[in-house]
Amino acid sequence: MDRICRHYIVTGCVQGVWFRDSTKKRADELNITGWVKNMEAGKVEVLACGEPEVIDQLEQWLESGPMLAKVDKVISEKLPYKEHLKFEIK
């Protein structure tokens, strides 16, 4: 099956609530590569690459995030697949 990448911007109360660490843990469980990082204005940015069905699972998880997060919106954009060695926190 073809692998894909998706770029996400997550808005809401998503900084200072273990969002990046929890996203990395979930991505590692799903064998997804890419990265997660905080952005200005309290947003979180995610690049996720892997099999389409596991990317969909991560996207569903991003819509609620970790227990302390309050996600308002997840903006998603499909990107061409690019190889990454692992999933990292930037």
Considering 3, 6, 31, 38, which one is annotated as catalytic?
38
CA gap 66, 79 in Å, rounded = 25
Residue 3 is among the residues annotated as catalytic for this protein? no
**Can 31 be counted among the known catalytic residues?**
no
Nearest to 46 by CA among 72, 68, 74: 74
21 vs 37: CA distance, rounded Å? 10
Positions marked catalytic: 20, 38
